[in-house]
Every structure is written in structure tokens, then in C-alpha cells.
């Protein structure tokens, strides 16, 4: 039987792979189509795709077709180093000696599966290594160079579709997180308002009576130390209540055209002593040609102070805080970028830092970043955090440029 691939077959396979992105945006759907069509194109016994995990650097099973669970349970059938080398060379490898080829890690299991020949094709997108496509045959056969080139074409097209599907999944996940975060903030804001008002009045009474008692107690009286502690802790509770009220109000911004650099300058001025006391160097690179944008200056100053205080506390003693402002690459946002050389944020905490009441500080309320997130969202902007343990933290705030601003006046 003639097993050579004709152009119509190739065209139909490429069309099916491309359309899989529209029929199901999940990466798994795309991979299932890719392995099935690749095996069918070459009249093969089966196929599988291993995707390179960028975090673990392991080859995770993405999809398989025509192979038993027992064979798949053995793990990757090839070494990571081999995959990287194959990708660098961008070539197809034909494996004919199943039992002795060094690139077959489980030769006996492959033979028991009925496999007598394999073909490997790299899956790369631009300079990024995504993984490898391996096709299995139950009998040896010859492959014209034309067919091998077809396989590279299929792998390249599949890589582009995989990349797009991964980006769509990331965006969907981000939107889901934003929606969940918004719902949490709204519910907790209502709850916080009720709690704050209920507690504020008794706290005021405690503070008033303890302060009056302190005035009447002689310096040498042992009760004085206890009263001072009561007053100190009551004041701390009032500060927390004030934060709760600020968080719960979530007032709409009183927006007016203003320059972000001016607001940042005021925030820096407020914290000059903090930088000096902690021996922290401040480096500011503020774009002098930023356009004016619609912001509530008081609210934006509040988030700048929050972020700068977090940077100072992350460093503790001696280090550098770097502030940059610039127009984003799409020229639709003014970007404020604040980074520090502090202790960084543990990976397990990165998904929680914008949640209300989450804090790793001994006396933290966990509301600073939650308030920051809410204010930026009210302005139609976005907040992003990046960090590695012991490598500092970086917070990026994007605030939209009004549509009426002449884009030609914004420096490229």
C-alpha cells in the first residue's frame, strides 16, 4: 500500500490543527489533535507529545494516541538533554534499532508494546523549546525526505498553536483571579465596615479612661506600665480600624488631570526620613515627558506610600529602592515600576499578597496591598507583582492614558 503523504492530506491536517484552537482553547485539546493527526498522517501505531515544564525542566506528558497506559506509566521515553539537542538542530530523528539506540530509555517495554521504529520531531516556537513529538510504528519502513519535512512543518504549526493556546489559558486564569479578587474585596469591604463601626466606639472609651487614669497614677506606681501598654495597644487597634474603614469605603476616585511624577515626588518627600534612618538609597528615573492622566491624587499618593513602605520594610537596613515611570510599550498606559533589593516574597505567598488581611509582618494588618489593588482597579488600571526569595520584589502599576491625549505627543 502506498503510504506517502499527498498535499491534500497535509492541508487537511494543518487545517484541523489550526481550527483546534478555535474549537477548544485549552492546551490539552490542541495536543490531542496534534498527536492524533500526526499518527494518522504517517499511518503510525501511535504518538505522544512531551511538553518541557519551564519551572521543573521536566518533560511532562502532554497528550498521547494509540499507546497503552502501562507503557506511558514508565515516564519520559527520552532524556531532556537529548530533546534540547534535537531542538537546537531543528531536525527529525529516525530511530530504527529500538533495543540498542541510546535515545530509547525503555527499550524492552517499547518492544513489548509492539513498537519497532520511532521518529522524533522537535516542537519549538521561535527560540523557545516547547517539547518533542514522538511517533511510534509497529514495523520498520523507509521515509522519503519529503515526508520528514512534512513532519517538521506539522510540528512547527503545532508549536505556534500550542503557544497561542497557552497564552489564552494564562489570560483566562488571570481574568478569573481578578474577578474572584474583586468579589472578595467587595464582600470583605462590607463586612469590615460593620466590624469597624461596632469596635470603634468601645475603643474610644477604653482610650479615654486609660489616658485619664495614667494622668492620675504617680510615676513610681507599678500600674503605670500596664496602663501605658493598654494605651499603646488601643492606639494600634484604632489604627487597624482606620485601615479597615479606608478599605471598606472604596470611594470612587475624584479624578482630575495630573502628572504621576508630581504625586510620586510628594510620596517620596513624606518618606525621606524613613529612607535615611534605614540607610536605603533611593534611585528615581522619572520620565519627564509623561502625559497627564485622570487620577485621584490623594488615592494615588496613598498607594505610592504603601508600596514604598513595603520596599523599605522588605530591605530593613541598607539596600536600594528603584522607582521608574514611563509610558508602556502599547502607549496606552503610564507605568510606575517600584523595585527593591530586599528579602523578596516566598513563592507560596505570591498568590495571596493582594488578599485582605494577609500579612507576614508581625504587626501588619494585611490591608495595604489590598487597598492598593482596589484603588488601581477603580482607576481602570492593573497591578502586578514579581519576586524571588532573597532577590527583592518589584511592583508594577499601570494607569490608563485618557483617549483624548494626543498619542503623537507621547514619546516613543
Question: 115-148 pLDDT, tens per residue?
Answer: 999 988 888 777 677 778 889 999 988 877 777 7
Of the two residues 47 and 15, the one the predictor is more confident about is 47
Tell me whether residue 189 is in a domain: no
Q: Using the predicted structure, report yes or no on whether residue 397 has a pLDDT greater than 90.
A: yes
| pLDDT confidence tier of residue 412, bands split at 50, 70 and 90 | very low
- Domains in the chain: how many in total? 2
Is 187 contained in some domain?
A: no
Q: Does position 261 have pLDDT exceeding 90, yes or no?
A: yes
* Angstrom distance (rounded) from CA 72 to CA 68: 6
Tell me the pLDDT band of 295, cut-offs 50, 70 and 90: very high
Region 384-401 average pLDDT: 88
Answer with the residue of higher pLDDT: 11 or 44.
44
pLDDT confidence of residue 111: 92
| Final residue belonging to a domain, choices 103, 138, 169 | 169
Same domain? For 257 and 398 the reply is: yes
Q: Is the pLDDT of residue 215 over 80?
A: yes
- Is 324 a domain residue? yes
Residues 36 and 140 in one domain: yes
Res 26: pLDDT: 66
In the listed set 143, 169, 195, which residue is the last one of a domain according to the structure?
Answer: 169
In-domain check, residue 283: yes
pLDDT digits (tens, 9 = 90+) for 307-316: 998 898 888 7
pLDDT at 407 over 50: no
Q: What angle do CA 275, 279, 283 make, to 5 degrees?
A: 60
**328-350 pLDDT, tens digit each:** 888 889 999 999 998 888 887 77
**Listed range (95-104, 275-284, 327-336, 353-362) with the worst mean pLDDT:** 353-362
% of the chain beyond a pLDDT of 90: 16
Final residue in a domain of this structure, among 120, 135, 169? 169
Distance (Å, rounded) from C-alpha 37 to C-alpha 132?
15
Quick one: average pLDDT of 27-45?
Answer: 81
Q: What is the mean pLDDT of residues 55-71?
A: 81
Q: Is residue 25 part of a domain?
A: yes
Q: Over range 48-70, report the average pLDDT.
A: 80
Does residue 141 sit in the same domain as residue 265?
no
Collect all residues with Cβ–Cβ distance below 8 Å to 391 and sequence separation of at least 6.
344
Which pLDDT band, with edges at 50, 70 and 90, does 2 fall under?
very low
Residue 401 has pLDDT above 60, yes or no: yes
Q: Which domain does 119 fall in, by range?
A: 7-169
Give pTM, 2 decimals: 0.46
The mean of the pLDDT values for the chain is 78
Q: Are residues 72 and 164 in the same domain?
A: yes
Amino acid at each position: 500500500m502506498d503510504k506517502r503523504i499527498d498535499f491534500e492530506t497535509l492541508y487537511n491536517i494543518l487545517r484541523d490543527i489550526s481550527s483546534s484552537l478555535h474549537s477548544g482553547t485549552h492546551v490539552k485539546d490542541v495536543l490531542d489533535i496534534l498527536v492524533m493527526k500526526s499518527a494518522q498522517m504517517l499511518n503510525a501505531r501511535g504518538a505522544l507529545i512531551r511538553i518541557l515544564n519551564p519551572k521543573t525542566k521536566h518533560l511532562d506528558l502532554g497528550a498521547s494516541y494509540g499507546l497503552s497506559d502501562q507503557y506511558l506509566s514508565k515516564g519520559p521515553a527520552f532524556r531532556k538533554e537529548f530533546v534540547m539537542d534535537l531542538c537546537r538542530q531543528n531536525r527529525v530523528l529516525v530511530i530504527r534499532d529500538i533495543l540498542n539506540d541510546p535515545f530509547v530509555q525503555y527499550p524492552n517495554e517499547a518492544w513489548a508494546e509492539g513498537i519497532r521504529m520511532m521518529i522524533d520531531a522537535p516542537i519549538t516556537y521561535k527560540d523557545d523549546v516547547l517539547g518533542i513529538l514522538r511517533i511510534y510504528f509497529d514495523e520498520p519502513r523507509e521515509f522519503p525526505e519529503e515526508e520528514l519535512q512534512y513532519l517538521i512543518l506539522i510540528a512547527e504549526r503545532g508549536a505556534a498553536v500550542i503557544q497561542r493556546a497557552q497564552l489564552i489559558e494564562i489570560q483566562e486564569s488571570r481574568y478569573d483571579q481578578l474577578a474572584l479578587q474583586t468579589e472578595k474585596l467587595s464582600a470583605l469591604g462590607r463586612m469590615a465596615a460593620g466590624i469597624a463601626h461596632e469596635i470603634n466606639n468601645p475603643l474610644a472609651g477604653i482610650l479615654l479612661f486609660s489616658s485619664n487614669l495614667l494622668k492620675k497614677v504617680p510615676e513610681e506606681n507599678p500600674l503605670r506600665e500596664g496602663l501605658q501598654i493598654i494605651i499603646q495597644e488601643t492606639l494600634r487597634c484604632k489604627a487597624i480600624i482606620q485601615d479597615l474603614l479606608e478599605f471598606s469605603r472604596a470611594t470612587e476616585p475624584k479624578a482630575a488631570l495630573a502628572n504621576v511624577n508630581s504625586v510620586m515626588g510628594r510620596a517620596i518627600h513624606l518618606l525621606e526620613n524613613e529612607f535615611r534612618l534605614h540607610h536605603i538609597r533611593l534611585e528615581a528615573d522619572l520620565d519627564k515627558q509623561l502625559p497627564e492622566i485622570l487620577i485621584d491624587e490623594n488615592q494615588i499618593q496613598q498607594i505610592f506610600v504603601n508600596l514604598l513602605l513595603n520596599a523599605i520594610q522588605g530591605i530593613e537596613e541598607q539596600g536600594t529602592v528603584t522607582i521608574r515611570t514611563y509610558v508602556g510599550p502599547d502607549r496606552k498606559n503610564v507605568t510606575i515600576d517600584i523595585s527593591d533589593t530586599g528579602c523578596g516574597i516566598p513563592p507560596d505567598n505570591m498568590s495571596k499578597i493582594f488578599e485582605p488581611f494577609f500579612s507576614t509582618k508581625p504587626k501588619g494588618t494585611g490591608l495595604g496591598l489590598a487597598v492598593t489593588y482596589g484603588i488601581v482597579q477603580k482607576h481602570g488600571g492593573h497591578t502586578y507583582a514579581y519576586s524571588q526569595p532573597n532577590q527583592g520584589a518589584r511592583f508594577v502599576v499601570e494607569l490608563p492614558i485618557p483617549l483624548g491625549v494626543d498619542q503623537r505627543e507621547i514619546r516613543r
